[in-house]
Structure 1
Amino acid sequence: MAQQAHWSSKIGFVLSAAGSAIGLGAIWKFPYTAGNNGGAVFFLIFLVFTLLIGLPVLLAEFYVGRKSQRNALDAFGALAPRTPAWKAVGMAGVAACFLLLSFYSVVGGWVLAYVWHAFGGNVYAGADFGELFGKTIAEPLPAVVWQLLFMLITAAVVQNGISQGIERASRYLMPLLFVMFLLLAVRSLTLPGAMAGVSFLLAPDFGKIGSETLLTALGQAFFALSLGVSAMLTYAAYLDNKQDLFRSANSVMWLNMLVSLLAGLVIFPAVFAFGMKPDAGPGLIFIVLPEVFQKIPFGTALFAVFMVLIAFATLTSAFAMLETVVAALIRGNESKRRKTTLLTALAILLVGIPSALSFGVLGEWKIMGKTVFDLWDYLITSWMIPLGALATAAFVGWAQPRETVLAHMREGSSVPEKLLGAWYLALRWLAPAAILLVFWHTLNK
């Protein structure tokens, strides 16, 4: 059954898709990954790889979604009815979204907890932020309660559908996120010694380029756009043929890059201004930044604003993940949306509880040498996402007739033929080669 709902506006789709892409990847993962990999040179390579590899695969997901007008489970089968095996790509994407949200919601719960900490007086000069973070993730009941709250907020938005739920929320959340980030970046840039942080982010030292930096930047570019889990495919299924797919994908990509840049301009100038190290790793936001903000006038209030920003970005990504699963279950029957959304959110929460407990009571329970949280993270990011994106690139670049693909991509778009041809070549050859390289690197770690 074709999708019945549609986005009410072009900008609504772009903001919602950008919200899906941004998430914790741009705001949480990018700064500490850049900090560990040379700063500016990593950012430059990340930019190039996003343009040459991430964008072609993003457009491929847009093609499958809009062309089929189906949910992720049915989209590939609708476009290739004589090859039932392609349906497995959509099934894997839905399963990946389900599992991804089960542990992503745990991190989302941490973010909400830190919003509470910031406004509730637990973030103050002299506090032991390492101990605060340890308690936040280790105490069983609070960890599950914050995860539950995160899933309730996500379900409350998704149950109202595309135009009245996700699009309406993104219309407010995304512009507010950009404005607040700009204000925080201005404040960070006015700190004494802040220019050292700007140089770290924007003045590349090409002597720091190594194979590890290249591969890490490639992986960050690949994952930054929510590729490989059918989320962008699902959003594109609600589009009509008047939407310019190339302009939309370009907007989503650059908005994602802009937020990554702003996150760097908020964090690195402040870190350098106070003599701290940029390579603090995943704890940068939860442990290092609270201390940095305490050294800034009105720092506690500014840190609270910063955590609200991260909460916004985390939720917009969660909307896309939950919508991908819900859309596959209701198959265009919007009358089932509310009940299906709530039941799906509950199922994801239950599956995610062991992940929430992985830093406390289940910390010693290991599978393949990993906690439940780390196992899901590994399986999704190192296996399911690369394979899903590779399969999507192969499907559009090789399994679909060339002229069918190019004709559809021209609809609603005035893209020059040379650019259209370049995209198709990149999708056929460059993107699969790069994805296989990342996959090979993962297998040989």
Structure 2
Amino acid sequence: MNEKQGFKSSIGFILASAGSAIGLGAIWKFPYIAGQYGGGAFLLEFILFTILIGLPLLITEFAIGHLGKTYSTTIFSKLSHQKFTNFIGFWGNFAAFILYAFYSVIGGWIVIFFGYYLLIATKITEQNMNFFDMMIQNPLLSLTGQFLFIMITGLIVSFGVEKGIERASKIMMPLLFILFIIIVVRALTLDGAMEGVKYFLIPRFEDLSFKGTLYAMGQSFFALSLGTTGMITYAAYSQKDTDIVSSSSWIVFMNLAISILAGLAIFPAASAFNIEATAGPGLLFIVLPKLFNAMAFGLVFYIMFLLLFLFAALTSSISLLELNLSNVIKNDASKRKTYAWLLSIIVFIVGIPANLSFGLLSHVQFGAGTIFDNMDFFVTNIFMPIGVLITTLFAGYIMHKQQLLHAFRKKYGFTHIWYYLIKFILPIVIIIVFITQLYAV
């Protein structure tokens, strides 16, 4: 990679990478599964697994990207001198492409909801709460939202790594934290909120379960956007003096902080109004409006919450588009704008069936369910865990140990422990999570 077109600062690299990791899964999915599998007990497991499993895996992807300094479809052969290893990069690119195609559907819903509550709705009413069902069954409206979301992403990426991705991340990530803190403070002041806080923060070990432990383990590396070579691509854009261990630690910390803030926003409010936090789109578009409707200035806070979700969705979609774009333009800046828009249009076309699976194509059911469900299932349960596994096996068994350790700018006492973790322990852990989650669906 040409460093002149990469990240200009370590903070820009960290914020962009954190944005890639902190998507709707961390904010939307985490509170739901935490509530389903034990609250505080699940949170404790998730924190431990993120540090013991997610962090070493993130360091591994950063090390590969930082050493290779090239596109994800050629970086593996460059480091190993074995051309067949490039299939790892192509595997990750395909996973990221499909992920972006159906992820943009949810991003589009947020765009429509944000615009509706900002420009049309004057307050949260029962009729407005039913707007979601009307929206997803209106193909023109839902496809317009998806198209706008993809075009916003394409616009940011078209400006390049420094002027587009890095600049946007420096604005959106701090604002995301600020908005979250405001909403959490408001949620904590509600009558009856402390019961929700206790459920979320205080571990009750009798609530531990084998299935909950497996979900916590799986969430620990899925929440860091591992397995699509997206983090490898961002690390390839980093400066030579970037400390990958420090950067990885900051990203893990920010991911944990956002997950905890998400829980502190949802559980106290749900407890205060005796509303169960449900899974899927119901949480964001049906349950939360009811919660905010009972608050003073509820409409203002809900618009802020939608803006927060939009930032989280965009910072992830940016990395998904950039991953594929970098392999197409191959460092030729003159092609960036053209291919950013071209790829965006292709993603939109591929994502249309996923969008319509909530309306016109809802009758098309196979495998895991709707077209959207199947795209989600294959990426989340098959492509991403296999991507993490083959990347870890590449680092542990194909790259030489000393070659891999060159990625560390400083001498850390745990580097040898980290190496044996990724060589012997983590592949087994990933396989266990992969098999059990596959059969649990």
Aligned-residue RMSD, C-alpha: 1.5
Paired residues of 1:35 and 1:280 also in contact (CA < 8 A): no
Paired residues of 1:32 and 1:282 also in contact (CA < 8 A): no
Q: What is the distance in 1 between the residues matched to 2:114 and 2:191?
A: 27
Q: What is the distance in 2 between the residues matched to 1:296 and 1:223?
A: 33
Q: What is the distance in 2 between the residues matched to 1:312 and 1:219?
A: 24
The Cα of 1:405 is off from its aligned counterpart by 0.9
Q: Does 1:416 align with 2:415?
A: no
**Structure 1 stretch 228-237 or stretch 431-440: which is displaced more?**
431-440
Q: Does 1:165 align with 2:144?
A: no
Q: What is the distance in 1 between the residues matched to 2:244 and 2:134?
A: 45
Question: What corresponds to 1:427 in structure 2?
Answer: 422
Question: What corresponds to 1:444 in structure 2?
Answer: 439
- When the two structures are superposed, what TM-score results if normalisation uses the length of structure 2? 0.97
Question: What corresponds to 1:66 in structure 2?
Answer: 66
The Cα of 1:278 is off from its aligned counterpart by 3.5
Tell me the secondary structure at the aligned position of residue 286 of structure 1: helix
Tell me the secondary structure at the aligned position of residue 300 of structure 2: helix
* AA in 2 matched with 1:328: N
Q: What is the distance in 2 between the residues matched to 1:5 and 1:237?
A: 11
The Cα of 1:129 is off from its aligned counterpart by 6.1
Question: What corresponds to 2:378 in structure 1?
Answer: 379
**Structure 1 stretch 153-162 or stretch 273-282: which is displaced more?**
273-282
Q: What is the distance in 2 between the residues matched to 1:51 and 1:369?
A: 31
The Cα of 1:382 is off from its aligned counterpart by 0.7
The Cα of 1:416 is off from its aligned counterpart by 2.3
The Cα of 1:226 is off from its aligned counterpart by 0.4
Q: What is the distance in 2 between the residues matched to 1:23 and 1:130?
A: 24
Deviation per residue, 1:165-201 (Å, 9 max, x gap): 0000001111111111111111111111111111111
Paired residues of 1:123 and 1:290 also in contact (CA < 8 A): no
Cα 1:329–1:280, aligned 2, differ >3 Å: closer, same or farther?
A: closer
The Cα of 1:3 is off from its aligned counterpart by 6.5
Q: What is the distance in 1 between the residues matched to 2:3 and 2:342?
A: 21
* AA in 2 matched with 1:34: A
Q: What is the distance in 2 between the residues matched to 1:227 and 1:91?
A: 15
Q: What is the distance in 2 between the residues matched to 1:34 and 1:111?
A: 23
Question: What corresponds to 1:177 in structure 2?
Answer: 176
Q: What is the distance in 2 between the residues matched to 1:123 and 1:58?
A: 44
Matched residue count: 440
Question: What corresponds to 1:322 in structure 2?
Answer: 321
The Cα of 1:27 is off from its aligned counterpart by 1.0
Tell me the secondary structure at the aligned position of residue 29 of structure 2: helix
Tell me the secondary structure at the aligned position of residue 38 of structure 1: coil
Paired residues of 2:289 and 2:302 also in contact (CA < 8 A): yes
Paired residues of 2:46 and 2:216 also in contact (CA < 8 A): yes
* AA in 2 matched with 1:403: Q
Paired residues of 1:4 and 1:333 also in contact (CA < 8 A): no
Tell me the secondary structure at the aligned position of residue 364 of structure 1: coil
- When the two structures are superposed, what TM-score results if normalisation uses the length of structure 1? 0.96
Paired residues of 1:39 and 1:202 also in contact (CA < 8 A): yes
Task: Give the alignment of 1:26-41 within 5 angstroms.
Answer: 26-41=26-41
Cα 1:207–1:369, aligned 2, differ >3 Å: closer, same or farther?
A: closer
Q: What is the distance in 2 between the residues matched to 1:2 and 1:112?
A: 34
Q: Percent identity?
A: 40
Tell me the secondary structure at the aligned position of residue 409 of structure 1: coil
* AA in 2 matched with 1:74: T
* AA in 2 matched with 1:176: L
The Cα of 1:131 is off from its aligned counterpart by 2.9
Point out where structure 2 has 5 or more consecutive residues left out of the alignment.
none
The Cα of 1:369 is off from its aligned counterpart by 5.6
The Cα of 1:348 is off from its aligned counterpart by 0.4
Q: What is the distance in 2 between the residues matched to 1:165 and 1:129?
A: 35
The Cα of 1:274 is off from its aligned counterpart by 1.2
Paired residues of 2:193 and 2:271 also in contact (CA < 8 A): yes
Question: What corresponds to 1:245 in structure 2?
Answer: 244
Q: What is the distance in 1 between the residues matched to 2:93 and 2:315?
A: 17
Paired residues of 2:188 and 2:268 also in contact (CA < 8 A): yes
Task: Give the alignment of 1:25-424 within 5 angstroms.
Answer: 25-81=25-81, 83-122=82-121, 124-128=123-127, 131-279=130-278, 282-368=281-367, 370-406=369-405, 408-411=406-409, 414-417=410-413, 419-424=414-419
Cα 1:143–1:80, aligned 2, differ >3 Å: closer, same or farther?
A: same
**Structure 1 stretch 261-270 or stretch 319-328: which is displaced more?**
261-270
Question: What corresponds to 1:20 in structure 2?
Answer: 20
Q: What is the distance in 2 between the residues matched to 1:193 and 1:128?
A: 27
Point out where structure 1 has 5 or more consecutive residues left out of the alignment.
none
Cα 1:369–1:280, aligned 2, differ >3 Å: closer, same or farther?
A: closer
The Cα of 1:121 is off from its aligned counterpart by 4.3
* AA in 2 matched with 1:61: E
Paired residues of 2:88 and 2:387 also in contact (CA < 8 A): yes
Paired residues of 1:118 and 1:301 also in contact (CA < 8 A): no
Q: What is the distance in 2 between the residues matched to 1:12 and 1:377?
A: 30
Cα 1:277–1:239, aligned 2, differ >3 Å: closer, same or farther?
A: same
